[in-house]
């Protein structure tokens, strides 16, 4: 907001009016949402007798529940009626939210659900989900999912590594399956003064591969601003203090490599969370975990810019959703070409860490500090995000890295504003400035993007600039010194009443950039399309050309291009796979690369098998040739809902050989208890005779 000082008061007044207007006129879908009142609210009845969570919705108290109906599909026929409507029942007691789902089915055999492990991805399983925007910021939501086997998965504001204690049970009959879910308010982050939440429900009908959702706008099905309001929650009452407020996770790692004469390496540590208020939590770590036992097979890095490898350390992963504006953090967070100031892997050894995360009104807050006392290294990160009704949001980030002989600090400002009919236009921008005692790290970066989206089109026009010395000390900046315009357009095709195909997509992009000195930086463009047939076979085709300057290698730019074709078959059936072929040119050499990936899941969920084979034939600029082959096999035996065995084998030959074998036993419970027993070294280039045991033991009080 650029308000001159003298008109400041008037500006604030106009802004307040705007915000009030947007708060009053809530976004609504263009069709009726069964179950909401005229104010677009789902009013939850508060009852005194809690139902028993056994999957049967037979307790008399369910007759008092508010009732919603999921009647529309998001996919394959966006906005059309669902083939089977799902009934949702909602109740609350003073300390829990209860949700029941009645899911009609064609027959018991029509249900496909394989996953039995808590928090495992179950994209293709018959399932129901509840989404809760407890902050009512229309920006982030909790997700609670249960499949038709009763397997649970949860996430907080997009972070799937968040785990909590909640209950769910299912019952499968001949004409319907039912789910009964209880979510304690104590596990949720919310400001008790904010008594209106956003809520939504989804069901995936597995035999038809149909995603159905309660309330959404066909222009943007995932837009949280269309979530109806959940009102009537007993949140104004004093919080039930019986629930645990402390969660301590003690971990120990034992590591022994046979034959290197070093004996057993041992370390241990303590990670804790103190939920001292319903809206604020303190997290700390003493002797952090550096074992990286969880790390998957080493990714082979053949590129010339740094590749993004997510951090998996508990301290950084937990609560990372409160730092997603300032940081590329944890697993799954990665934000295109927007500037960021913090990448947690930049903090290596430290002794003590602390995090405060929480919400106040419509502000989301994160504060992090990490201290290495021996080397006098201290790092601080601040992230504050605020939404303005359903129209926009703004954020601020600050990072300070205090080092014994230098300083590095950065400031980030950004925001987003929606406008136009149905909020189809959005303007996003962010600017970061890094100040440093090192001239090579003293610079700024910014991005501005104007987008338009409706049911069929998404078009985005952007401008990004990274100054030559924008290299934040704790940030992730693979490339600097460019100013670039970009254009992206996507068109989706969904037949209304045709049996020819499920959907098709076409996208084009164009980007052109120059350096701050006015020299050529890059020029790329491409086109790609895909079509999904009724049986879920997907055929895709893409072509791109990428001219890019690498002045540290030579003055003339490289001229790369590639053409790829892929076929994805099997849908969510037990046997599925994809086959592809890429031909192209990179760094003056030609290459072609066929690949195949096959998957099989035993329908009862007890065995999983994956096989991936690829070959890359390369001809370099000097005429020399090389073939790189890689094979990966993984076999998983699910022993019970929380225990499984995985055997992995990876072999790569050609430029350099990697031969790796590992057998691991895993235990993961919803309580937070985890055990890793690994024979072999998943990160080594050669098979190693190594034994690693890691145990994470949670305590709640
Ligand atoms: Zn709202």
Instruction: Say what the pLDDT of residue 238 is.
Output: 54
> What spacing in Å lies between the alpha carbon of 23 and ligand 1's midpoint?
7
For 153-174, the pLDDT digits (tens) are: 999 998 988 989 999 999 999 9
3-state secondary structure of 150: coil
> What spacing in Å lies between the alpha carbon of 168 and ligand 1's midpoint?
27
For 48-94, the pLDDT digits (tens) are: 999 999 999 999 999 999 999 999 999 888 889 999 999 999 999 99
> What spacing in Å lies between the alpha carbon of 68 and ligand 1's midpoint?
17
Buried b (16+ CB within 10 A) or exposed e, 375-394: eebbbbbbbbbbbbbbbbbb
Instruction: Say what the pLDDT of residue 1 is.
Output: 33
CA–CA dist 691, 74 (Å, integer):
47
Number of H-type helices and E-type strands within the chain: 2, 38
CA–CA dist 177, 149 (Å, integer):
10
- 279 torsion bin: left (phi>0), alpha (psi -120 to 50), beta (else): alpha
Yes or no: domain 30-231 corresponds to CATH 1.20.120.1200: no
> What spacing in Å lies between the alpha carbon of 389 and ligand 1's midpoint?
7
Closest CA to 396 of 369, 415, 418: 415
Rounded to 5°, the CA angle 610-611-613 comes to 155
What does residue 144 show for φ and ψ, rounded to 5 degrees? -125, 120
> What spacing in Å lies between the alpha carbon of 216 and ligand 1's midpoint?
13
Percent residues over pLDDT 90 in the chain: 61
> What spacing in Å lies between the alpha carbon of 26 and ligand 1's midpoint?
6
> What spacing in Å lies between the alpha carbon of 225 and ligand 1's midpoint?
6
Percent residues over pLDDT 70 in the chain: 91
Instruction: Say what the pLDDT of residue 14 is.
Output: 52
CA–CA dist 361, 5 (Å, integer):
27
> What spacing in Å lies between the alpha carbon of 31 and ligand 1's midpoint?
17
> What spacing in Å lies between the alpha carbon of 135 and ligand 1's midpoint?
10
Q: Name the helix (H) or strand (E) containing 359.
A: strand 352-360
Instruction: Say what the pLDDT of residue 301 is.
Output: 47
> What spacing in Å lies between the alpha carbon of 30 and ligand 1's midpoint?
16
> What spacing in Å lies between the alpha carbon of 131 and ligand 1's midpoint?
13
> What spacing in Å lies between the alpha carbon of 524 and ligand 1's midpoint?
40
For 593-642, the pLDDT digits (tens) are: 999 999 999 988 899 999 999 999 999 888 899 999 999 999 999 998 89
> What spacing in Å lies between the alpha carbon of 390 and ligand 1's midpoint?
7
> What spacing in Å lies between the alpha carbon of 123 and ligand 1's midpoint?
27
Q: How many CB atoms lie within 10 A of CB 138?
A: 23
> What spacing in Å lies between the alpha carbon of 241 and ligand 1's midpoint?
28
> What spacing in Å lies between the alpha carbon of 228 and ligand 1's midpoint?
7
> What spacing in Å lies between the alpha carbon of 645 and ligand 1's midpoint?
44
**Is the separation of the CB atoms in 137 and 203 below 8 Å?**
no
CA–CA dist 115, 122 (Å, integer):
6
> What spacing in Å lies between the alpha carbon of 386 and ligand 1's midpoint?
14
> What spacing in Å lies between the alpha carbon of 39 and ligand 1's midpoint?
11
> What spacing in Å lies between the alpha carbon of 230 and ligand 1's midpoint?
9
Mean pLDDT of 318-326: 91
> What spacing in Å lies between the alpha carbon of 484 and ligand 1's midpoint?
36
DSSP string covering 38-78, please? TTSEEEPPB-SSPPP-SS---SGGGGGSEEEEEEEEEESST
Specify the pairing of strand 342-343 against strand 327-328. Answer: parallel
**pLDDT at position 222 over 50:** yes
**pLDDT at position 239 over 80:** no
Intra-chain end-to-end CA distance of the chain, in Å: 46
> What spacing in Å lies between the alpha carbon of 197 and ligand 1's midpoint?
7
> What spacing in Å lies between the alpha carbon of 196 and ligand 1's midpoint?
8
What does residue 308 show for φ and ψ, rounded to 5 degrees? -85, 120
Q: How many CB atoms lie within 10 A of CB 151?
A: 23
Instruction: Say what the pLDDT of residue 261 is.
Output: 63
In sequence order, what are the residues at sequence separation of 6 or more whose Cβ sits closer than 8 angstroms to the Cβ of residue 377? Answer: 350, 371, 401, 402, 403, 404
> What spacing in Å lies between the alpha carbon of 388 and ligand 1's midpoint?
11
Mean pLDDT of 256-262: 74
For 424-468, the pLDDT digits (tens) are: 999 999 999 999 999 999 999 999 999 999 989 999 999 999 999
pTM: 0.90
> What spacing in Å lies between the alpha carbon of 365 and ligand 1's midpoint?
20
> What spacing in Å lies between the alpha carbon of 406 and ligand 1's midpoint?
46
> What spacing in Å lies between the alpha carbon of 217 and ligand 1's midpoint?
14
Instruction: Say what the pLDDT of residue 82 is.
Output: 95
Mean pLDDT of 368-396: 93
> What spacing in Å lies between the alpha carbon of 581 and ligand 1's midpoint?
46
> What spacing in Å lies between the alpha carbon of 133 and ligand 1's midpoint?
9
> What spacing in Å lies between the alpha carbon of 100 and ligand 1's midpoint?
23
Q: What is the mean pLDDT of the chain?
A: 88
**pLDDT band with cut points at 50, 70 and 90 for residue 306:** low
> What spacing in Å lies between the alpha carbon of 214 and ligand 1's midpoint?
15
> What spacing in Å lies between the alpha carbon of 206 and ligand 1's midpoint?
30
CA–CA dist 414, 687 (Å, integer):
47
Mean pLDDT of 274-282: 89
Closest CA to 395 of 180, 139, 104, 573: 139
**pLDDT at position 305 over 70:** no
Instruction: Say what the pLDDT of residue 336 is.
Output: 54
> What spacing in Å lies between the alpha carbon of 22 and ligand 1's midpoint?
10
In sequence order, what are the residues at sequence separation of 6 or more whose Cβ sits closer than 8 angstroms to the Cβ of residue 277? Answer: 358
> What spacing in Å lies between the alpha carbon of 83 and ligand 1's midpoint?
28
Q: Name the helix (H) or strand (E) containing 129.
A: strand 127-133
Determine whether 21 is exposed, middle or buried from the number of CB atoms within 10 Å of its CB (0-12, 13-18, 19+).
Answer: exposed
> What spacing in Å lies between the alpha carbon of 203 and ligand 1's midpoint?
22
Q: Where are the beta strands (DSSP E) in 602-683?
A: 607-619, 625-640, 643-653, 658-668, 674-680
How far lies 526's CA from each of 460, 488, 495, in Å? Answer: 15, 10, 25
**pLDDT at position 16 over 80:** no
> What spacing in Å lies between the alpha carbon of 262 and ligand 1's midpoint?
59
DSSP label at residue 308:
P
**Is the separation of the CB atoms in 51 and 237 below 8 Å?**
no
């Amino acid at each position: 907001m650029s308000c001159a000082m003298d008109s400041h008061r008037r500006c604030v007044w106009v802004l307040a009016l705007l915000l009030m207007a947007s708060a009053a006129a809530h976004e609504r879908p263009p069709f009726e949402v069964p179950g909401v009142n005229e104010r677009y609210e789902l009013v939850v009845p508060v009852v005194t007798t809690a139902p028993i969570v056994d999957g049967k919705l037979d307790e008399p108290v369910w007759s008092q529940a508010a009732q919603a109906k999921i009647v529309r599909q998001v996919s394959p026929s966006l906005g059309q009626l669902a083939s089977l409507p799902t009934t949702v029942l909602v109740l609350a007691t003073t300390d829990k939210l209860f949700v029941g789902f009645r899911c009609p089915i064609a027959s018991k055999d029509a249900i496909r659900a394989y996953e039995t492990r808590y928090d495992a991805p179950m994209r293709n399983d018959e399932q129901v989900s509840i989404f809760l925007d407890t902050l009512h910021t229309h920006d982030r939501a909790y997700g609670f999912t249960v499949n038709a086997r009763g397997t649970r998965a949860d996430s907080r504001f997009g972070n799937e590594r968040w785990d909590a204690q909640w209950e769910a049970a299912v019952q499968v009959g001949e004409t319907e399956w039912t789910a009964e879910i209880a979510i304690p308010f104590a596990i949720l982050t919310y400001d008790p003064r904010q008594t209106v939440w956003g809520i939504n429900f989804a069901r995936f009908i597995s035999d038809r591969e149909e995603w159905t959702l309660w309330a959404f706008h066909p222009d943007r099905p995932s837009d949280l601003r269309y979530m109806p309001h959940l009102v009537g929650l007993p949140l104004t009452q004093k919080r039930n203090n019986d629930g645990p407020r402390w969660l301590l996770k003690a971990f120990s790692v034992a590591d022994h490599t046979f034959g290197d004469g070093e004996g057993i390496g041992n370390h241990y540590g303590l990670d804790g969370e103190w939920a001292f208020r319903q809206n604020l939590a303190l997290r700390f770590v003493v002797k952090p975990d550096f074992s990286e036992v969880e790390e998957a097979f080493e990714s082979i890095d053949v590129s010339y810019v740094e590749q993004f490898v997510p951090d998996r350390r508990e301290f950084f992963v937990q609560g990372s959703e409160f730092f997603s504006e300032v940081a590329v953090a944890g697993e799954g967070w990665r934000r295109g070409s927007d500037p960021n100031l913090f990448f947690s892997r930049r903090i290596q050894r430290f002794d003590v860490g602390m995090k405060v995360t929480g919400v106040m009104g419509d502000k989301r807050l994160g504060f992090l500090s990490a201290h290495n006392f021996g080397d006098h290294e201290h790092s601080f990160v601040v992230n504050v995000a605020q939404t303005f009704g359903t129209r926009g949001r703004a954020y601020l980030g600050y990072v300070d890295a205090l080092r014994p002989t230098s300083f590095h600090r950065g400031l980030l400002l950004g925001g987003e504003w929606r406008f136009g009919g149905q909020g189809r236009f959005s303007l996003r921008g962010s600017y970061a400035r890094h100040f440093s005692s090192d001239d090579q790290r003293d610079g700024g970066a910014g991005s501005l993007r104007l987008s338009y989206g409706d049911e069929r089109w998404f078009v985005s026009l952007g401008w990004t600039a990274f100054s030559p010395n924008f290299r934040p000390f704790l940030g992730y900046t693979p490339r600097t010194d460019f100013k670039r315009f970009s254009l992206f357009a996507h068109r989706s095709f969904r037949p209304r009443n045709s049996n020819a195909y499920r959907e098709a997509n076409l996208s084009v992009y164009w980007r052109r950039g120059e350096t701050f000195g006015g020299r050529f930086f890059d020029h790329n463009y491409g086109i790609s399309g895909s079509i999904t047939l009724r049986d879920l076979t997907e055929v895709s085709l893409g072509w791109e050309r990428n001219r890019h300057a690498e002045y540290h290698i030579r003055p003339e730019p490289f001229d790369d291009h590639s053409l790829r074709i892929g076929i994805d078959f099997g849908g969510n059936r037990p046997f599925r796979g994809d086959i592809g072929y890429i031909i192209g040119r990179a760094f003056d050499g030609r290459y072609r690369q066929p690949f195949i990936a096959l998957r099989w899941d035993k329908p009862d969920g007890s065995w999983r098998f994956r096989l991936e084979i690829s070959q890359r034939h390369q001809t370099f600029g000097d005429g020399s040739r090389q073939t790189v082959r890689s094979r990966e096999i993984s076999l998983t035996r699910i022993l019970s809902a929380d225990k499984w065995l995985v055997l992995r084998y990876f072999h790569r030959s050609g430029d350099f050989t990697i031969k790796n074998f590992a057998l691991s036993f895993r235990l993961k419970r919803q309580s937070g208890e985890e055990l890793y027993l690994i024979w072999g070294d998943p990160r080594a280039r050669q098979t190693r005779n190594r034994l690693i045991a890691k145990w994470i033991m949670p305590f709640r009080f």
